[in-house]
């Protein structure tokens, strides 16, 4: 039921990757559903992905001059303290002008200065942590905020136990009913219902190991009679386009970025994916059999931890990044040929979905405002 209260004013801050941005947009959309007049402002980092994706979703965004610390000595690192101070000052100005009732941080560089400034002014604050291993920004903010919404149990290692709420990760609402869109999906991608389809997603920025493994095994995929919807990211896109042209009659469809992920899932029979928190949350809701290839280039190897949470429930198959060149294509072809295994994985992964995550997070937010 829509909330009849005065229009809430909320700032949502963070970004950097799709894994931070899409949950943020899902929270905003849910807030609009319960409080249609709500005023929502996003705050991101200049030059990052959120500066285009958030306006595409229909929301206003302001960019801060902020970036992370590189692991090697760079000019960026030398300017880091200046960026932090500048961003905190800018955040205070944004808060003074916008006068939010509450603020939400979703992780990523921009959420640090904004939530620091907001909590200094005693504005109610909530953070949403997508991963099974907490990000550095959220760990630093945890002492200052009122609530921490998490997607995995046992997060007391990172956050004060009394602030934790297990909500799951919010996903784009169009994904919740994606399985009813199969005919639309096949038409959208220009593929046939006669062949099975493998969907390859390496995260919003692509994944080199997955891309190279698919490129090396594309002949086997084509010979086995499968179609491919392949999101490569920008860097690998030109190389993949050449393969698309070479096998243009075989249903190989290549994209640097897929905007209609609901249709990509609807078209897919089996999926190859990184094990980012958002990808896993979406896969649990669409219930597709999946081969996960965790990225090794993340803090504390948290993608492997995300993946193992599914593998232990027989809800996904794991191929390690360093073994992907040898094992990925054989593993996905074996899965694509085994109907029983597909059904088992599908049933088990569906049990792990949390379809009400966005609503639960917004309920926590409204409690803070009231």
CB 252 within 8 A of CB 145: no
214-233: average pLDDT? 96
Quick: pLDDT tens for 172-202: 888 988 889 999 999 999 999 999 999 999 8
Of 130 and 342, more confident: 342
| Domain of residue 103, CATH code | 3.40.50.2000
Buried b or exposed e, range 190-225, using 16+ CB within 10 angstroms = ebeeeeebbbbbbbbbbbebbbebbbebbeebbebe
Assess whether 126 and 271 both reside in one domain: no
Position 2 in a domain: no
Assess whether 228 and 116 both reside in one domain: no
Q: Name the CA dihedral angle for 177, 178, 180, 186, rounded to a multiple of 10 degrees.
A: 170
Position 361 in a domain: yes
* pLDDT recorded at residue 72: 60
Assess whether 196 and 270 both reside in one domain: yes
For the beta sheet containing 102-105, the strands, ordered from the edge strand earlier in sequence to the opposite edge, are: 60-64, 39-45, 9-13, 102-105, 125-129, 147-150, 164-166
Residue set of the binding site = 17-19, 131, 172, 204, 258, 303
* pLDDT recorded at residue 5: 65
Count CB neighbours of 244 within 10 A.
18
Quick: pLDDT tens for 286-326: 999 999 999 988 877 889 988 998 999 999 999 999 999 99
Quick: pLDDT tens for 101-118: 999 999 888 899 999 999
* Look-up of token digits 């229009």: 7
Q: Whole-angstrom Cα distance, residue 97 to residue 102?
A: 14
Of 33 and 77, more confident: 33
Assess whether 22 and 161 both reside in one domain: yes
Assess whether 129 and 200 both reside in one domain: no
Assess whether 181 and 207 both reside in one domain: yes
Assess whether 68 and 192 both reside in one domain: no
Quick: pLDDT tens for 79-98: 777 788 888 999 999 999 99
Positive or negative: CA dihedral 164, 14, 34, 358: negative
Q: Whole-angstrom Cα distance, residue 67 to residue 60?
A: 20
Can you read off the two tokens belonging to residue 138?
């959220």
What SS3 state is found at 273?
Answer: strand
pLDDT surpasses 50 at 54: yes
Residue set of the binding site for UDP-N-acetyl-alpha-D-glucosamine = 17-19, 131, 172, 204, 258, 303
Position 4 in a domain: no
133-139: average pLDDT? 86
Position 76 in a domain: yes
Enclosing domain of residue 365:
9-169+355-369
Q: What is the CA radius of gyration of the chain?
A: 21
Q: Whole-angstrom Cα distance, residue 363 to residue 355?
A: 14
Assess whether 187 and 147 both reside in one domain: no
């Amino acid at each position: 039921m829509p909330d009849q209260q005065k229009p809430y004013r909320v700032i949502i801050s963070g970004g950097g990757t799709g894994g931070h941005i899409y949950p943020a947009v899902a929270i905003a959309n849910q807030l609009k559903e319960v409080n249609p007049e709500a005023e929502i402002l996003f705050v991101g980092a200049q030059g990052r992905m959120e500066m285009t994706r958030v306006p595409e979703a229909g929301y206003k965004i302001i960019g801060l001059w902020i970036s992370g610390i590189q692991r090697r000595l760079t000019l960026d690192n030398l300017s880091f303290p200046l960026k932090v101070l500048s961003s905190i000052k800018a955040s205070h100005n944004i808060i003074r002008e916008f006068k939010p009732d509450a603020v939400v941080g979703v992780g990523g560089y921009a959420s640090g200065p904004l939530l620091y400034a907001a909590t200094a002014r005693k504005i109610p604050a909530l953070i949403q942590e997508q991963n099974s291993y907490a990000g550095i920004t959220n760990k630093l903010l945890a002492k200052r905020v009122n609530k921490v919404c998490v997607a995995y149990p046992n997060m007391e290692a990172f956050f004060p136990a009394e602030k934790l709420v297990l909500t799951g990760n919010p996903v784009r609402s169009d994904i919740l009913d994606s399985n009813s869109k199969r005919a639309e999906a096949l038409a959208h991608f220009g593929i046939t219902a006669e062949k099975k389809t493998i969907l390859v997603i390496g995260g919003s920025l692509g994944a080199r190991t997955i891309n190279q493994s698919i490129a090396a095994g594309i002949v086997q995929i084509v010979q086995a009679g499968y179609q491919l919807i392949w999101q490569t990211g920008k860097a690998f896109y030109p190389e993949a386009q050449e393969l698309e042209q070479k096998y243009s009659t075989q249903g190989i469809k290549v994209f640097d970025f897929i905007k209609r992920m609901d249709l990509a899932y609807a078209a897919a029979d089996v999926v190859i994916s990184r094990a980012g928190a958002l990808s896993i949350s979406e896969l649990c809701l669409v219930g597709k059999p999946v081969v996960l290839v965790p990225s090794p280039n993340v803090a504390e190897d948290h993608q492997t931890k995300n993946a193992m949470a599914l593998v232990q429930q027989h809800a996904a198959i794991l191929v390690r990044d360093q073994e992907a060149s040898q094992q990925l294509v054989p593993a996905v072809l074996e899965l694509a040929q085994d109907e029983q295994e597909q059904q088992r994985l599908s049933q088990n992964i569906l049990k792990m979905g949390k379809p009400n995550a966005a609503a639960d997070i917004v309920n926590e937010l409204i409690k803070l405002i009231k």
